[in-house]
A and B are shown apart, each in its own frame.
Chain A
Amino acid sequence: MKGQFSVEQLISLSIFIAFVAYFFFQFFNLRPVYLGEVKNERIRSEAYQISELLINDPGYPVNWNQNPDSTQRAGLSDQNVNKTNFLSSTKIDVFNSSCTDYNKVKKWIGSDYEFSIFLTDKSTGVLRISCYPSKVIAKGINVTVRRVVAFNSSYGELILQMW
């Protein structure tokens, strides 16, 4: 009988091996899930940051709308009024017309992610900004940030999507 396994010992051994396998599977599974969530957080915070820059920053230079080719950073805030959530109507129009060249606007935005920006005038229903890439490739996460803004005596909703 020496050097031989009984059926019970074999069962015990297989239970033990199964548990160890489960243990390692669970342990190494944590890392990618955690990394995925970190990545999602990064894209969420970047989407919020860009929405904040668009709404509450006049851009650089502040009058970039007068010479769009010199734009280094896009921002729609009206520097003359200088109030939060108040956009310049001229900047809105220049930004929208510049969106024919998505890559140029992407450079102004300064993000590695792809994005789309829509601004609707809620009192008239007119779409004031429509900016998105020509090819949209779906990815794992798509973040949407909606902001309520004012311009002139009207108001609207700015929708920023990022993926």
Chain B
Amino acid sequence: MKNKSFVAMLEMILVVIALFIAFNVFFPGFSYKNRWSEALLLQTARDVMLTADRIDKLYEYSFNQNSLQNFLNDVVSSESIISWSERDGAIKNQIVIACNCTNQQMVNLNSWMFELKINGRQISTVQCYTNLEFINPCMDSSDVLVIWGEKDLSAPIYYNTLKKYLNGNGGIVEIADFKSPLNQIQNDIFDLADGGSWASPDYDIILKPNYANNVTYQAYKIYVNGLKGNTTMSEFCKLPSVLNKKIVPSDDDSSKVLSKINKDGGQATRASCAIFNGTRIAWISDFTETTYDTNHTKLLASLLLATSNKKEASSSIPIIRTGYLTSYINIKNADMFEVYKFDLGLGYPY
């Protein structure tokens, strides 16, 4: 009898354990996560963006991290909220130029890019030398690569290096006249072709793009509206030692040409002085081979600014538990029409 009862008790305990497990499976403990704090965080970021725009300070806050931080300290009460910001589509305050050029050329570049002002903000540049087998990262990374002078880029390593560079966000500007026949890389990367011979022009002109989606649109805006360059300038496409060499886009697409000579010279296609291949690759004839003035240097500056990397973060995104990025498309039209995306991130670190 005693053994029988013991077995019954054991059975009961086993049944209770089984029921307890089943109960917890079918009726798990009630927990309710409302995510209210996350919703408020997202709302706060939107409010901050809208308010900054309403008081006409969004442009200042987009480019001045200290002003933005002071504003956030004022309006975001919680000290446990951390912030960061990003910008995409606007010319950076500081542009890092990796230059494959001589010391004198770097000095010239530095003087031409000195104290540039676009839409009321100062644009500074930093130059550093690079070879073309491996692009010098300069500081963290460069925003635009300058190849100055006619270089033999036929070796595959150059093609691979330039392609790799373009896979980042930086642009490439080539400043060169070509005494030798154009090699394949000039066609593949820069979309340049030899267009035959041409007659002597009087001067060069800047072409106004027909549409805002033309590849030359950004550089045109920067040159004409931002830097106040003239739409005509003294001729610089004709290299004295190779008088009749004419460079054109390989497909003769005139929407890729920012500057060209003013005369046909009896042929349908005019010689080009500045050609774009996409929005991040440009070639310009080497104006230092002839007499040049500020229009030529401004044209080069506009190419560098237009092709440069336009993505910038205030700092690296901090480690956060939860965070939201709020985007706002802002427009500035002081010197030139500038459209960019400003992202404000707010998050909880724990």
Contact = CB atoms under 8 A, between A and B. Distances in A.
Nearest to A26: B27
A19 interface: yes
What are the 8 tightest A-B residue pairs by CB atom distance, in nearest-first order?
A150-B54, A12-B12, A8-B5, A148-B47, A6-B5, A85-B50, A8-B9, A37-B32
B51 A149 contact: yes
Interface in B13-67: 13, 15-16, 19-20, 23, 27, 30, 32, 34, 36, 39-40, 43-44, 47-48, 50-51, 54-56
Contact of A6 (B1, B23, B44, B76): B1
Interface residues of B, number: 34
Interface in A1-48: 1, 6-9, 11-13, 15-16, 19, 23, 26-27, 29-30, 33-34, 37, 40-41, 44, 48
Contacts of B16: 15-16, 19
B6 interface: yes
Contact of B19 (A8, A19, A33, A37): A19
Interface of B: 1-2, 5-6, 8-9, 11-13, 15-16, 19-20, 23, 27, 30, 32, 34, 36, 39-40, 43-44, 47-48, 50-51, 54-56, 74-77
Interface residues of A, number: 39
B110 to A, nearest CB: 40
Given A148-B75, A157-B75, A84 B30 contact: no
17 contacts: A1-B1, A11-B9, A15-B16, A16-B16, A26-B27, A30-B27, A85-B47, A122-B74, A122-B75, A145-B40, A148-B47, A148-B48, A149-B47, A153-B55, A155-B74, A155-B75, A157-B77
Nearest to B75: A148
